[in-house]
């Protein structure tokens, strides 16, 4: 099954906290902690959430008072995001492609658990660069391409614990931190931060960690 088909089939389950995207709901607090650590959010901050899905990050970022735009290619996911935002009385602009943004420039671009699903990551990052304001930052989270990421990110997460839909990831598309850093530096970015994170079976929650073997955050600035 193609990844795009999986996202489409599950697009009405985004806000089911016990559904296929439950692991992303568990991850939201750590994502928010990292974003707030890397960027001072205010009513003046313009944020673009790329691959926003059902709005799991767009909506909490908007609650911080930021101006938020979300982009996702799956119509059903955008419908879920718009419905949730409307229920909370939040004004968020959601679009199906980047070109709809026109000449908008953003202080912060979020690319969370997205890059491993992109066919040409370097080209995609170059396209996103056009939407960053001067000194703007991009925050990326993705999976390293290691034996441990295959074992835990695919076999355990998809096959055993059912934390993610089966077939949603392809290990060959995972990106080593060194590869991502090289892509960004070639495009004129400065690397601001590189931080691993992991799920703790003891605390039963996501937490920051020293290891980059599985999941990691990266922040870069123009």
Per residue in 11-60, pLDDT tens?
Answer: 678 899 888 888 899 999 999 999 999 999 999 999 999 999 999 999 99
Per residue in 77-105, pLDDT tens?
Answer: 999 999 999 999 999 999 999 999 999 99
Residue length of the chain: 222
Residue 80 maps to a domain: yes
Per-residue pLDDT at 5: 65
Q: Tell me the residue range of the domain where 201 lies.
A: 3-145+175-221
Residue 43 maps to a domain: yes
What span, in angstroms and rounded, lies between the C-alpha atoms of 115 and 145?
A: 13
Residue 159 maps to a domain: no
Domains contained in the chain, number: 1
Q: Residue 97 sits in a domain of what CATH number?
A: 3.40.50.150
Q: Is 130:93 a contact under the CB 8 Å cutoff?
A: no
Q: What is the CA angle 79-7-118, rounded to 5?
A: 110
Residue 163 maps to a domain: no
Model-level pTM? 0.91
Confidence band, pLDDT 50/70/90 cuts, at residue 1: very low
Per residue in 117-173, pLDDT tens?
Answer: 998 999 999 999 999 999 999 999 999 999 988 888 788 777 776 777 777 778 889
Residue 157 maps to a domain: no
Residue 166 maps to a domain: no
Residue 153 maps to a domain: no
Per residue in 186-208, pLDDT tens?
Answer: 999 999 999 999 988 778 789 99
């Amino acid at each position: 099954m193609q990844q795009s088909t999986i996202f489409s089939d599950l697009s009405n389950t985004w806000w089911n906290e016990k559904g296929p995207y439950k692991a992303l709901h568990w991850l939201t607090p750590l994502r928010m902690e990292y974003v707030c650590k890397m960027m001072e959010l205010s009513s003046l901050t313009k944020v673009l959430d790329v691959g926003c899905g059902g709005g799991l990050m767009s909506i909490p970022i908007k609650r911080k008072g930021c101006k938020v735009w979300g982009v996702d290619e799956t119509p059903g996911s955008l419908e879920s995001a718009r419905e949730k935002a409307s229920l909370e009385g939040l004004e968020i602009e959601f679009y199906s492609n980047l070109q709809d943004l026109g000449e908008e420039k953003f202080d912060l671009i979020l690319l969370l658990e997205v890059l491993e699903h992109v066919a040409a990551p370097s080209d995609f990052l170059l396209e996103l660069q056009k939407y960053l304001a001067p000194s703007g930052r991009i925050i990326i989270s993705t999976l390293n391409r290691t034996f441990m990421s295959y074992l835990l990110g695919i076999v355990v997460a998809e096959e055993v614990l059912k934390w993610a839909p089966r077939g949603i990831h392809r290990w060959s598309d995972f990106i080593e931190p060194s590869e991502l850093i090289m892509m960004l530096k070639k495009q004129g970015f400065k690397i601001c931060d590189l931080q691993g994170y992991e799920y703790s079976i003891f605390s039963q929650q996501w937490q920051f960690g020293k290891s980059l073997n599985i999941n990691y955050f990266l922040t870069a600035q123009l």
